[in-house]
Amino acid sequence: MKKLFVCLSILSLALVSCSKDIAEDENNTPVSGVISGEITGNVNYAYGNYTLQGVVRVKNGATLTIAAGSTIRIDKTLATDNGLIVENGGTINLVGTADAPIVFTEVSKVPGSWSGIMLVGDAPINAAGGASTALSEDGSNITYGGTDATDNRGILKYVRVEYAGKKIADGQKETNSFTFYSVGSGTTLDHLVAYKGADDGFEFFGGTVSMTNAISYGNFDDAFDWQDGWRGQNNSNWTAIQVGKGNFGMEIECSLNNNAYWPKVTGVTLKRMSGCVPEVVGDVQIDAFQFKREGNGEFDNVIIDGYGNYTETTTTYQGAACKIQDATTNTNQVNSSKIKLTNLKITNTSQQIAGASSAISVTFPTGQFTTSNTATGSVLTNGTWSTVEGVSLLQ
């Protein structure tokens, strides 16, 4: 057995972690342990089975590394709030593989059992009123927003988060499976899975980071969501499978700021499976793309399937491939060619384009909304990373 190395520095009777290596034996047998508290140095967890207990915070100047193939379990009976927060200046290094992903899961398998993974960076945002900083909406009141467009919070690659999206603290604030506050383009987000969370699968609050090869499966709210002027430019291969309960495939807003920039995503698959209902009775959100509050963006090579009629009590609602929620977004974003949806293959969907009310008449400028029978949507290779309990998420 290799030795366990722990470096500690004691100053003024305070115990502060410098660095730590959790070792494994020579046969690569998984080790076990608990991940908890504040991480203030460079901490490396070898391949193993761990318990994440409480809210773990990676502090400024610290780096958390977890080896490929590791499983991190959360047990909501052990702590009231559980989550992983990488604070501004902290770094995460979670690099799994297709056959050995890093998996965060909760033992009860109940959506909303913990708070998921949150990264806080120093990239620009454009929050409500044009503010360059804001407070996080997860209940922890972390300030986010900065000036470093290339901000680097590290690497999340081949990571799966299961059963997150917990209401925390006062029961009003919510978290997502993955939450990115003002994260910059130096950060790597690749081959990520948000599985059966009680809120959004992925949510961006401003920033410049891009995400590739992502799956949002069975999340109660939106599969993908953003605001505060998120502007990632190199996004590709996004898949949403909405089952059981779910709202929009993508909820897109810009915090009421009419920006001259927007995100770009290539290769998108949005599927709403038969029997999927809105998260809350009386709040019908059943569209593939919803744009509101000056939301915009460019999307190319898109599959949209299953956003058809939904009946609640005696009222039947029609789903749409693209819904424009308010007149201001229609005027400033649609009419000014700041929303572009091209090469869309639309099936089993009630409407292609709709306004939220009869007062909003939506007409895209020429070339800004086009359909194609040859669109492929996202192209992902199945593996252990995209398989839960023996079932592939790529339907």
CA angle 23, 26, 31 (to 5 degrees): 40
Does any domain span residue 379?
yes
Does any domain span residue 63?
no
Does any domain span residue 112?
yes
Provide the pLDDT for residue 24. 52
Q: How many domains does the chain have?
A: 1
Q: What is the pLDDT of residues 347-367, one digit of tens each?
A: 999 999 999 999 999 999 999
Distance CA(308)–CA(313), nearest Å, equals 17
Provide the pLDDT for residue 19. 46
Q: What is the pTM of this model?
A: 0.93
Provide the pLDDT for residue 3. 38
Q: What is the pLDDT of residues 224-251, one digit of tens each?
A: 999 999 999 999 999 999 999 999 999 9
Residues 6+ apart with CB under 8 A from 177: 116, 117, 161, 164, 165, 194, 195, 197, 199, 200, 201, 202, 216, 219
- How many whole angstroms from its chain centre is CA 302? 19
- pLDDT per residue, tens digit, the chain (395 aa), is 433 333 333 333 233 334 456 555 456 799 999 999 999 999 999 999 999 999 999 999 999 999 999 999 999 999 989 999 999 999 999 999 999 999 999 999 999 999 999 999 999 999 999 999 999 988 778 999 999 999 999 999 999 999 999 765 554 567 999 999 999 999 999 999 999 999 999 999 999 999 999 999 999 999 999 999 999 999 999 999 999 999 999 999 999 999 999 999 999 999 999 999 998 888 899 999 999 999 999 999 999 999 999 999 999 999 999 999 999 999 999 999 999 999 999 999 999 999 999 999 999 999 999 999 999 999 999 999 999 999 999 97
Does any domain span residue 14?
no
Provide the pLDDT for residue 62. 98
Does any domain span residue 70?
no
Provide the pLDDT for residue 2. 38
CA contacts within 13 A on the Cβ side of 318: 13
Does any domain span residue 72?
no
Per the structure, the complete domain to which residue 234 belongs is given by: 82-392
Residues 6+ apart with CB under 8 A from 48: 22, 24, 30, 31, 32, 33, 67, 70, 71
Provide the pLDDT for residue 139. 76
